[in-house]
Structure formats: C-alpha cells, structure tokens
Amino acid sequence: MSPFEQEYRVWLEGHLAASRGERLRRLRERHGFGEKCLLEHAWWPVVGSLADLHPEYEFIAPDSSHYFMDFALLRLPMPTCLESDDFGSHARDADRRSFSRGLDRQNEISLAGWHVLRFSLDKLKENPLGCQNHVRRMLTEWYGHDDGVAGLSIYEREILRLAASCGGSFTIAEACERLGKQNTFVRPLLHRLVEMGHLQSASGEKRIHRYRIANPSGNRRY
C-alpha cells in the first residue's frame, strides 16, 4: 500500500468517525473517485499530507442556506474551498435552478472570505502536473509559502507546522505524536532543523528538551 493510500484511509476514517447527520451521509455516499483523485494527483504530490483538509465541509450562508464543499483547507490567513468537478455529472444534473444555486453557492463562499480553487476531473486525470502547479501557486500566493523550506522532507515540514501552530514551544514527545514516529526517528530531524536555523532551543543547552521557531517574529509560513 502506498504512503498516500495509508494516510488517506486513516484520514477518511477519522472524519467518518467524527461526522454526524448530512455530512456523514455525504461522506459515505458522495465522497468518491473525483474527490480522491484531487487528493492523490494534485494535493499529495505537492504537500505530502492531508492535515488541515476537511472533506464534505458544511458551510452555512447568512440566509441559512446549507452548502457542502468537497474540501475545506482551514489555514490562516484565509480558508480555501477545494473542488473536484466532473463535467459528466454536472451536465447530466444541470437545469436552470441547479445552475443558479451553484452560482449562489460559490458567491456566498467567496463573500464569506474564502478562497475557491476548482479542478476538473478530466484535467486531474490527463494533466496532473498542471493541477499540481495550481496547488503550488495557491500555497505561494495565498499562504506565503517560503521557497526556503522547499528542500525539507514531509516530516520536517510537519514539525515546522507543529512549531508554528503551537503558539510557543513543543517537546520531542509532542513531535513524535504528531508524526506517529519513535524518538530515534524524530530526534535527528529536530537536530537538522536546528542546524538549518529553522528551530532553536526553548529549554536546555547541551540536550534540548523543548523547541520553538527560530524566528517567531518573521513572516515565514509552513
């Protein structure tokens, strides 16, 4: 089983377990090939993680209308709605009322301060590199992705995201829990991030017990 498939199964099972009502029904009945195709061919090759992505995310408009997004990326400074669109199903189900509701849905999401990024299923299958480029541009333009971390591994990036999100310092045990790895795997990664200037000691000198972002006042985002 591929790393993507392993994480995808765990990720989806977690959301199924945490969902109720209409969202749970949609995860069981509507979350399928197109949505998985977006993750596998556009998102995963660039990001290498499904963290912060929420499938079948419910959005409630000011007029109390309920809409569901294929995926919500919940990250500062603004969340992003990600969609996988299948031309066949859209054309088959289209009528004037559903067409108008679809426009209302996107307008309400945008007016509420969300970014919106949509991919056609055809392009995800036929030109995945083009879709990956859109994801990279999204990370750069909307989230200030710093090319200075481009050479880091998936695990090193995830440690930096932990450091950026914890609001202070974190322990080796917390990093192990975040990555799902043992101390012997995580400690060399922490040492390398310190040597590269991304992290610094928050407790201890010869043997570091807690870590934090080396430049907490900087603008770098992970």
Helix (H) or strand (E) holding 55: strand 53-60
Tell me the β-bridge partners of 201.
211
Vertex 191 angle, CA 188 and 195, to 5°: 135
Work out how many domains the chain is built from and give that number.
Answer: 2
If asked whether residues 120 and 165 sit together in one domain, one would say: no
- Mark out the alpha helices in 61-212 (DSSP H runs): 87-93, 96-111, 121-126, 128-143, 154-165, 172-179, 183-195
- Residue 220 inside a domain? The answer is no
List of residues 6+ apart from 61 with CB closer than 8 A: 67, 108, 112
Q: What pLDDT tens digit does each residue of the chain (222 aa) get?
A: 788 999 999 999 999 999 999 999 999 998 999 999 999 999 998 888 898 899 999 988 888 888 899 999 988 788 999 999 886 655 455 677 777 877 888 899 999 989 999 999 999 999 999 999 899 889 888 887 654 555 677 788 788 878 876 667 899 999 998 888 899 999 999 999 998 888 888 876 667 888 988 754 444 444
If asked whether residues 87 and 124 sit together in one domain, one would say: yes
Residue range of the domain that includes 176: 148-213
Question: Tokens for 35?
Answer: 């949505």
Amino acid at 164: A
Q: Are strands 210-213 and 170-171 parallel, antiparallel or unpaired?
A: antiparallel
Of 143, 170, 192, the domain-final residue: 143
- Residue 222 inside a domain? The answer is no
b/e for 181-202, b at 16 or more Cβ within 10 A?
eeeeebeebbeebeeeebbbbb
Whether omega before 77 lies within 30 degrees of 0, making that bond cis, reads: yes
Question: Tokens for 136?
Answer: 């990279």
Q: At 206, phi and psi to the nearest 5?
A: -70, -40
> What was the pLDDT predicted at 92?
54
> What was the pLDDT predicted at 158?
80
d(C-alpha 163, C-alpha 161), whole Å: 5
> What was the pLDDT predicted at 217?
41
Handedness of CA 59, 54, 190, 197 (dihedral sign): negative
d(C-alpha 187, C-alpha 195), whole Å: 12
Q: At 63, phi and psi to the nearest 5?
A: -90, 10
> What was the pLDDT predicted at 115?
94
Amino acid at 205: E
> What was the pLDDT predicted at 148?
53
d(C-alpha 100, C-alpha 94), whole Å: 10
If asked whether residues 139 and 187 sit together in one domain, one would say: no
> What was the pLDDT predicted at 160?
82
- Residue 53 inside a domain? The answer is yes
Tell me the β-bridge partners of 68.
58
Decide: pTM greater than 0.75.
Answer: no
> What was the pLDDT predicted at 165?
67
If asked whether residues 106 and 153 sit together in one domain, one would say: no
> What was the pLDDT predicted at 94?
61
If asked whether residues 103 and 16 sit together in one domain, one would say: yes
If asked whether residues 92 and 139 sit together in one domain, one would say: yes
Q: What is the CATH number of the domain that holds 179?
A: 1.10.10.10
